[in-house]
Structure 1
Amino acid sequence: MRTGNEPIQARSPLRLRFALTLWGLVWAVGGTVAFAEVGRSGWAIACGVLATVAAVDLAIIVHHIHQGPHWQPGRDIPPYRPLHGGRR
């Protein structure tokens, strides 16, 4: 059943986002180190910025995971706010 407010109530699989962001963070940090060692400062800065963005995203994901079922619903929690009453 669609309620019409799915974009507002959209939920993402936070554990998958956590794993993918962690993977990206590892590669971005590795790229930063590797490019800095070979003297490619522009690419090192770009990877550093990407690592910073990934770290901030990781912090937000961890915060949402710690908020509980509102952000990380279980199987018994519906993915939308159920309608109460008749049609609008």
Structure 2
Amino acid sequence: MRTGSEPVTARSPLRLRFWLSLWGMIWAAAGAAVFSVVGRVGWAAACAALVVLTAVDLVVVLRHIHQGPHYQPGRDVPPYDPPRTR
């Protein structure tokens, strides 16, 4: 809901989310490799699951980035009234 108090220069956190996901995927892949060499199968499987999860997140983030900006109401559109709490 739009309240009128949003910053004029708000930016999307998608690029930050992309880099954090990439960083996490690198560390999870390294962890999976190290744990599999050491013989800790459970931890290696957990790290491999994190690699898959971050890869899916990267795909979603890249899809949203490539979609480009979406319509946002401008200054000429009045803000909605905040919901009344009972």
TM-score by structure 1 length?
0.70
Shift of 1:81: 3.4
Bigger Rg, which one: 2
**Number of matched residues?**
76
Superposition pairs for residues 3-82 of structure 1, below 5 Å?
3=2, 12-70=12-70, 80-81=72-73
RMSD over aligned Cα, in angstroms? Answer: 3.0
Shift of 1:3: 1.9
Q: How many angstroms apart in 2 are the aligned matches of 1:42 and 1:23?
A: 22
Which consecutive segments of 4 or more residues in structure 1 shift more than 3 A?
A: 80-85
Shift of 1:30: 0.4
Q: What residue number does 2:84 align with? A: none
Aligned-pair identity (%): 51
Give 5+ residue unaligned stretches, structure 2. Answer: 82-86
Give 5+ residue unaligned stretches, structure 1. Answer: 71-76
Q: How many angstroms apart in 2 are the aligned matches of 1:65 and 1:84?
A: 26
